[in-house]
């Protein structure tokens, strides 16, 4: 009922506006016809030879005034009818898209974030409003999808460590088990897993939402790669995987050194996790078509084609490349991609299939002015 009153008020305002225009126009016409018209008409009759005060002149002027009154009356009636019709048409034309927008807003208020408003052909302003509504709805839907996925992911990931801790806690309370070194190590591992999960979730959320501030400096690419390789050399040696480094000299890039080291560290850890003993991982840097191209190439398990498009999704477990049994939290690649995108670059993955290894490629915009900067000596390639 309130909506009906609002729309009637809109139609009444349209009619009032048009009546105001009609009234002003008619007032101007009356002034011209009744004030300025008769003297001009009289003057022309006299110039045509009609004598002053003659009956013929009087009747002609009377006929002129009566004709003007009839014309004004007909014009007023016609204008009123047209104003009513135009007001009804305009209010109807606007009411229909407003109805649809109102229904869509109510649907969204009820949790249906997939609601969209189609094109309604009601003018540029209404179409712009509908477009803004659809943009808002799409963003709300993405936010809701992210929230639901986050809750589902967290529940899934927390279940195992919480269950293990609960079982051991009950066993210790009931005296079924006693505290010893293996029990302490297991519970410590599960607590570390929970801590790592919380930190990773926080990092990936901040990165995807653009809330990470980057402390950018111009860095030699070879130095970045060498630092990342050195940090993982011991783990690679312990597993028996060869790590090699090959970087073109003179390359420099404008990045946050800590964050880019985090990206390279995640990729090297992922490569080591899925490369068997005796395998090889190569860390390369080349001048790409539009900037600096970094690649981490392994000879490990590879990735199935059907799972390749999803490996950067949080907690994706489609194949062994994201298997929790290897000890990963499931968000390392998602964090890496978000951090690379924060630098204005891209992170992609390619693989010919299971057993053929995988290649992760980082494309970053280059810092042209820093290419000749060699103040920091670049360490020799790591073999």
* CA separation for the pair 332, 204 (Å, rounded): 8
Strand pairing class (358-364; 346-350): antiparallel
The predicted pLDDT at position 6 comes to 46
**CATH class of the domain at 216-370:** alpha beta
Q: What is the mean pLDDT of residues 151-164?
A: 75
Phi-psi region of 315 (alpha: psi -120 to 50; beta: other; left: phi over 0): left
* Sequence-distant (≥ 6) Cβ neighbours of residue 370 within 8 angstroms: 218, 252, 253, 254
pLDDT tens digits, one per residue of 176-223? 878 888 888 888 878 887 887 777 777 777 776 667 778 899 999 999
Above 70 in pLDDT, residue 377? no
**Per-residue pLDDT at 368 exceeds 80:** no
Q: Choose between 140 and 256: higher pLDDT.
A: 256
Asked if pLDDT for residue 321 goes beyond 60, the answer is no
Average pLDDT on 234-243 reads: 94
DSSP secondary structure string for all residues of 94-153: HHHHHHHHHHHHHHHHTT-TT-------S-HHHHHHHHHHHHHHHHHHHHHHHHHHHHHH
State the Cα–Cα distance between residues 272 and 327, nearest whole angstrom.
Answer: 12
**Cα distance between residue 340 and residue 4, in whole Å:** 53
Please provide the average confidence, as pLDDT, over all residues in the chain.
78
- CA dihedral sign, ordered 33, 36, 37, 38: positive
Residues 102-110 have a mean pLDDT of: 82
**Rounded CA gap, 336 and 266, in Å?**
7
Residue 363 in this model has a pLDDT that exceeds 90: yes
Q: What is the pLDDT of residue 121?
A: 66
């Amino acid at each position: 009922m309130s909506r009906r009153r609002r729309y009637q008020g809109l139609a009444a305002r349209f009619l009032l506006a048009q009546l105001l225009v009609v009234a002003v126009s008619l007032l101007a016409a009356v002034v011209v016809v009744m004030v300025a018209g008769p003297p001009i008409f009289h003057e022309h009759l006299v110039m045509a030879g009609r004598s002053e005060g003659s009956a013929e002149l009087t009747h002609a002027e009377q006929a002129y005034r009566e004709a003007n009154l009839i014309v004004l009356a007909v014009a007023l009636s016609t204008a009123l009818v047209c104003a009513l019709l135009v007001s009804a048409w305009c209010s109807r034309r606007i009411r229909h898209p407003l109805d649809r927008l109102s229904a869509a807003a109510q649907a969204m208020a009820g949790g249906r974030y997939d609601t969209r408003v189609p094109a309604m052909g009601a003018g540029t302003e209404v179409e712009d409003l509908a477009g803004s509504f659809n943009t808002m709805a799409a963003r709300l839907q993405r936010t809701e999808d992210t929230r639901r996925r986050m809750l589902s992911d967290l529940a899934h990931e927390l279940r195992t460590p919480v269950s293990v801790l609960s079982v051991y806690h009950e066993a210790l309370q009931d005296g079924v088990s006693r505290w010893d070194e293996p029990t302490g190590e297991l519970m410590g591992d599960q607590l570390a897993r929970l801590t790592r999960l919380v930190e990773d979730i926080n990092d990936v959320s901040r990165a995807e939402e653009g809330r990470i501030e980057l402390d950018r400096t111009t860095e030699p690419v070879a130095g970045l790669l060498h630092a990342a390789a050195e940090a993982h050399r011991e783990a690679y040696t312990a597993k028996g995987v060869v790590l090699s480094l090959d970087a073109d000299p003179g390359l420099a890039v404008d990045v946050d050194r800590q964050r880019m080291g985090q990206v390279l560290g995640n990729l090297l850890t992922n490569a080591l996790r899925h490369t068997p003993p005796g395998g090889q991982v190569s860390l390369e840097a080349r001048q790409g078509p539009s900037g600096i191209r970094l690649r981490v190439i392994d000879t490990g398990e590879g990735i199935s084609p059907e799972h390749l498009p999803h490996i950067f999704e949080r907690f994706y477990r489609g194949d062994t490349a994201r298997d929790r049994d290897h000890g990963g939290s499931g968000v390392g690649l998602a964090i890496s991609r978000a951090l690379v995108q924060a630098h204005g670059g891209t992170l992609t993955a390619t693989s010919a299939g299971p057993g053929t290894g995988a290649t992760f490629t980082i494309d970053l915009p280059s810092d042209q002015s820093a290419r000749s900067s060699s103040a920091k000596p670049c360490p020799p390639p790591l073999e």
